[in-house]
């Protein structure tokens, strides 16, 4: 049987004693549950370890165009990401198509680029301005090749639920996390006490999901940090 947002709301209300085991929620109580769970989903979209999916998306890079908007209705038509794991580019004139790495510019790094209008057939770096409602990706130098595609790897958060009838289909651990934390979210509105057991279960459920969403990251070392020459660095060599 499908598990819906209404089921979740009622389970959460039972956790704080508002509903008995066999009771169903009134329209007002169910609506309160929908709002409470969406409040959590909205908050967790800003927490990287609450996000289980990283989606790869491509888009066309227009020759001599530096910036591209990201978000619903933008040039890169995905949900606006709070974070970007990586951006690369690929050249469709090469067979097989190959992705090429780009350097990431921080906000300070982008400020320090003195000639932002510099052009080149291919970019070497990217910068992301996480403005709202549309973020902006900027390539540097401005690519002039006509056969390029951008490739974005972006964490895609759980979307807010549209209605009480929406079926919840999420990875293991999310249902318990949503029930326990929605219950705590609802408790003040009903002047209900949050038991130590419920508080502990809510915390443990969040920890379990974050643990499962933690990803391995390859260690990267900047080439300049490796030094030059064949002798390497000696602590006795001095500055």
pLDDT tens digits along 4-21: 999 999 999 999 999 999
Predicted model pTM: 0.81
The mean pLDDT value for 134-162 works out to 97
Measured CA to CA, the distance from residue 80 to residue 87 in angstroms comes to 14
Q: Where are the domains of the chain?
A: 5-49+158-213, 53-156
The mean pLDDT value for 228-239 works out to 47
Instruction: Read off the pLDDT of residues 172-212 as tens digits, 9 standing for 90 and up.
Output: 999 999 999 999 999 999 999 999 999 999 999 999 999 99
Q: Could you say which DSSP state residue 92 is in?
A: T
Q: Give 33 or 229, the one with higher predicted confidence.
A: 33
The pLDDT value given to residue 12: 98
For tokens 């165009």, the residue is 65
The mean pLDDT value for 111-116 works out to 97
229 pLDDT more than 80: no
Percentage of the chain with pLDDT > 70? 90
Length of the chain equals: 239
The pLDDT value given to residue 225: 53
Backbone φ and ψ for 20, nearest 5 degrees, come out as: -80, 170
Q: Is 31 helix (H, G, I), strand (E, B) or coil?
A: helix
The pLDDT value given to residue 15: 97
Q: Could you say which DSSP state residue 69 is in?
A: E
The pLDDT value given to residue 221: 56
237 pLDDT more than 50: no
231 pLDDT more than 70: no
Percentage of the chain with pLDDT > 90? 87
At residue 219 the predicted structure's pLDDT band, cuts being 50, 70 and 90, is low
Averaged pLDDT score across all residues of the chain = 92
Backbone φ and ψ for 91, nearest 5 degrees, come out as: -105, 110
Measured CA to CA, the distance from residue 2 to residue 165 in angstroms comes to 10
The mean pLDDT value for 214-225 works out to 61
The pLDDT value given to residue 1: 74
227 pLDDT more than 80: no
The pLDDT value given to residue 100: 97
Measured CA to CA, the distance from residue 157 to residue 161 in angstroms comes to 12
For tokens 């508080």, the residue is 199
The mean pLDDT value for 203-225 works out to 78
The pLDDT value given to residue 215: 78
Measured CA to CA, the distance from residue 194 to residue 17 in angstroms comes to 10
Closest among 57, 49, 52 to 80, alpha carbons compared: 57
Give the bridge partners for 58, in sequence order. 151
Backbone φ and ψ for 207, nearest 5 degrees, come out as: -60, -40
């Amino acid at each position: 049987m499908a598990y819906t947002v209404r089921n979740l709301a009622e389970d959460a209300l039972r956790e704080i004693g508002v509903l008995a085991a066999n009771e169903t929620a009134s329209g007002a109580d169910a609506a309160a549950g929908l709002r409470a769970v969406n409040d959590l989903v909205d908050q967790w979209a800003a927490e990287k370890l609450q996000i289980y999916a990283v989606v790869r998306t491509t888009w066309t890079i227009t020759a001599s165009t530096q910036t591209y908007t990201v978000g619903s209705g933008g040039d890169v038509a995905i949900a606006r990401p709070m974070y970007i794991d990586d951006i690369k580019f690929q050249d469709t004139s090469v067979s097989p198509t190959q992705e090429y790495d780009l350097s990431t510019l921080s906000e300070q790094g982008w400020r320090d680029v003195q000639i932002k209008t510099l052009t080149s057939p291919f970019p070497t770096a990217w910068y992301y301005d996480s403005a709202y409602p549309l973020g902006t990706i900027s390539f540097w130098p401005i690519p002039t090749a006509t056969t390029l595609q951008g490739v974005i790897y972006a964490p895609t958060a759980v979307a807010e639920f549209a209605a009480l009838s929406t079926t919840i289909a999420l990875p293991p651990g999310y249902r318990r996390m949503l029930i326990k934390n929605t219950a705590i979210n609802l408790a003040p509105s009903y002047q209900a006490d949050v038991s130590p057991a419920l508080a502990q279960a809510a915390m443990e459920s969040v920890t379990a999901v974050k643990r499962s969403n933690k990803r391995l990251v390859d260690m990267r070392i900047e080439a300049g940090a490796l030094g030059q020459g064949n002798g390497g660095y000696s602590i006795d060599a001095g500055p």
